[in-house]
Amino acid sequence: MRVKAESGEKDIMRAFFALCGALLPLLAVGAPPADPCVKVAGKTFAAPTDVLACQKSFPFNETLRQNVLTNMERVFDFFTFEDYYLKSPPPFQESTVNIRETLAKINNTHFKTDYDFNIAIYDFTTQLNDGHTRWFPDCYTLYQNILPAPVVNIEVDGVQGVFVAPDSVEFLSQLGDEFTSFFDDLGFDWKRLAGAKVVEIEGRDPYDYVDFIAKTVSGNYLDHGVRVNSVFSSYRVSGTNFSQRIGDLAGPTVVRQTSLHMKLIPVHSRAVESVDIPFLANYLGLPFTDGPSFWAANCAANDLTNGVDLKGFRVQDLPRKLAKAEIIDKSGGNGINLPPPFLPNTTSVPGSEGVIKSFILPDNKTGVMFLGSFAGDFDRFQADVVAAISAFQKAKVSQLLLDLTNNGGGFVCLGQFLHQYLSGSQIGYPGFVSTNRANPLAQTIVAADIDLGLDARFTFYTADNCMAGNQVLEWTDLDTEIKTAGVKDDPHAPPDLLVSGNFRHNWRTAWSFFDENVPIAYESELPTFRFNYTAETYNKPQALWEFAAKQLFG
Ligand SMILES: *[C@@H]1O[C@H](CO)[C@@H](O)[C@H](O)[C@H]1NC(C)=O
Ligand SMILES: *[C@@H]1O[C@H](CO)[C@@H](O)[C@H](O)[C@H]1NC(C)=O
Ligand SMILES: *[C@@H]1O[C@H](CO)[C@@H](O)[C@H](O)[C@H]1NC(C)=O
Ligand SMILES: *[C@@H]1O[C@H](CO)[C@@H](O)[C@H](O)[C@H]1NC(C)=O
Ligand SMILES: *[C@@H]1O[C@H](CO)[C@@H](O)[C@H](O)[C@H]1NC(C)=O
Ligand SMILES: *[C@@H]1O[C@H](CO)[C@@H](O)[C@H](O)[C@H]1NC(C)=O
């Protein structure tokens, strides 16, 4: 539930209703297809109107609402930051919300479709702006809605502005013929928008609209500025490849909009044009042929949705229990590579095949480690750091840049490993003092784990689990803790989900080493230096590194 209706949101709704209105006469003439999912089945790309018709064909179901809300209510008992949300400290006031009141309100709201209910809770948890605490309904997050006009914030002639990404043709063409032919068939020339200066979006100043997306769509980060960055397109590592994020304005992972209105000035023109840019939805889910098979493949609970009792497994078959704290970026699914002209062309060093990419810049003095993630392969990450640093030392590199662009986190201990490998253990404990919430069920789990003699191979709760720092539990992890402790019958235990989804939560708080009364997430540490992106640097890592090395090291 949104705290406050935004005018841009109303505009979107108005556009949406106008569109529905336009469709009504058609429906009156020809009978609507019995099953709207048939029309989008088997298609990698589909018109958002058709996707919405399919996704909204599942009626609201009170049993599912009670199941999901009861699950959420009880998982929220484990959430370490709940009290902070009642009055979020500055500069994070934007995230303030009464969680219990919002859940009660969603319980009392009339919804027409299952989509509407799920979008309400998706938006509510997204706007907690904690990527570690979110509801992901698989049924509705499996289409990425793509606007063929990703935007960037770059400086041109000394002034910053919002532009359609200049490389959008090289970038989005990688989505293939099915993507480009949709626009060809509509007679919509999206390629000529590349590099255009944006002067208005949905009737608003472009930066206002960017703020609106940062507030309502981006989520993940308490810091507003970090969310603003994620509205724009920028480079990242996806899987183990250099890739480009479409950005939250042009690539949200839930389908709602069918088009976006922009006023812009194309390259080589001085005239302002008014353009309605159509979205196209990219399917990233499992195959289906109609509504029932769509539901079965993507929406109904499956074997991986809920947890298991690990006592039934042989110890050697258990996965290593390693604490994680990462955001989930569903938009990584399409993994569009960074177009080759933008890839680094300088010497890469050993240990660059995973999520870390390390280079020596042409000045021969600067080593760069681009740390795309702290997730991926736990052991390999450490080996790759060692390999890169050894290569830098051998090459007599004397200065080091660490690039954490779009690094969404991962294994907590890899952050600690990197910190200590680079600066030594003398520097002290890097902010890993942590606590978790001692709600009644948590206490029951600990007592049961002690009675059963379980250790860290089976549970995150036991004392020999030496992990410290912020930690996330996926719903399936928490349910596994509960089932392994044998306390699923406890009245506080969340029920198994009947739908395919994940209500993940921030299970452990790490306390700031600046002030051990403040969770590290609420410690605002603004950058010492700020530089504007340019057309040359927003998607070209090496150009950015060379610029940064000059600015920082001279
Ligand atoms: C609602 O969902 C439940 C659980 O999946 C199902 O058993 C029930 O038939 C559904 N109700 C309706 C009216 O479809
Ligand atoms: C939702 O409201 C109904 C009616 O007041 C109540 O019976 C039910 O327990 C509530 N569900 C949740 C999850 O709080
Ligand atoms: C970045 O752009 C802003 C707005 O155009 C400008 O005021 C500022 O001086 C620029 N910053 C730098 C470091 O060039
Ligand atoms: C990485 O890029 C290569 C070459 O374009 C491609 O074949 C591969 O599938 C990509 N891998 C991932 C994980 O995206
Ligand atoms: C860096 O090293 C390479 C290879 O040894 C050499 O060709 C190049 O001239 C060096 N560049 C600078 C700036 O010293
Ligand atoms: C390599 O990339 C840098 C930075 O983008 C660029 O300045 C340089 O011209 C490129 N060199 C070659 C040989 O393409």
Q: Is the CB of 542 under 6 A from ligand 6?
A: yes
From the CA of 483, how far away is ligand 1's center (Å)? Answer: 25
CB of 26 shorter than 6 A to ligand 3? no
Q: Which residues pair with 259 in a beta bridge?
A: 278
Helical axes 7-29 vs 206-213, angle rounded to 10°: 80
Burial-class residue 430 by CB neighbours within 10 Å (0-12, 13-18, 19+): middle
Measured in Å, residue 246 CA sits from the centre of ligand 1 at 37
Distance from the alpha carbon of residue 345 to the mean position of ligand 6, in angstroms = 6
How sure is the predictor about 22, in pLDDT bands with cuts at 50, 70 and 90? Answer: very low
Residues whose CB falls within 8 Å of the CB of residue 532, separated by 6 or more in sequence, listed in order: 153, 154, 155, 160
Please state, in angstroms and rounded to a whole number, the distance separating the CA atoms of residues 89 and 141: 31
Query: Ligand 1: which of 57, 62, 63, 500 to mutate, most ligand atoms within 8 Å of CB?
Result: 63
Task: Find how far residue 224's CA is from the centre of its chain.
Answer: 15
Condensed to tens digits (0 to 9), the pLDDT of residues 472-509 reads 999 999 999 999 999 999 999 999 999 999 999 999 99
d(CA 176, CA 197): 26
Confidence of residue 30 (pLDDT cuts 50, 70, 90): low
pLDDT at 17: 37
d(CA 526, CA 514): 14
Ligand 3 center–CA 154 separation, angstroms = 10
- b/e per residue 305-341 (b: at least 16 CB within 10 A): bbbeebeeeeeeeeeebebbbbbbbbbbbbebebbee
31, 212, 252, 301 from 324: Cα distances, Å:
51, 30, 24, 24
Cβ–Cβ contacts within 10 Å for residue 84, how many? 20
**Mutation to probe ligand 6, out of 348, 359, 542 (largest number of atoms < 8 A from CB):** 542
The DSSP code sequence of 125-156 is HHTTT-TTSEEEEGGGSSEEEE-S--EEEEEE
Ligand 2 pocket check for 173: Cβ under 6 Å:
no
- For residue 2, the model assigns a pLDDT of 31
The pair phi, psi for residue 379, each rounded to 5°, is -70, -40
CA 211: distance to chain centroid?
17
What is the 546 CA–ligand 4 centroid distance (Å)?
26
Which residues lie across from 411 on neighbouring strands? 324
* Whether the CB of 543 sits within 6 Å of ligand 6: yes
This prediction's pTM? 0.92
Confidence of residue 424 (pLDDT cuts 50, 70, 90): confident
For residue 285, report the distance from its CA to the centre of ligand 1, in Å: 22
Omega before residue 91 within 30° of 0, cis: yes
Quote the pLDDT of residue 7: 36
Q: Which of 54-58, 319-323, 527-531 has the lowest mean pLDDT?
A: 319-323
**Atom of ligand 6 minimally distant from the CA of 344:** 2
Whose atoms come closest to the Cα of 103: which ligand?
Answer: 2
Q: If we measure between CA atoms, which residue out of 303, 305, 258 comes closest to residue 68? A: 305
The answer on pLDDT for 96 being more than 80 is yes
Residue 104 confidence (pLDDT) above 60: yes
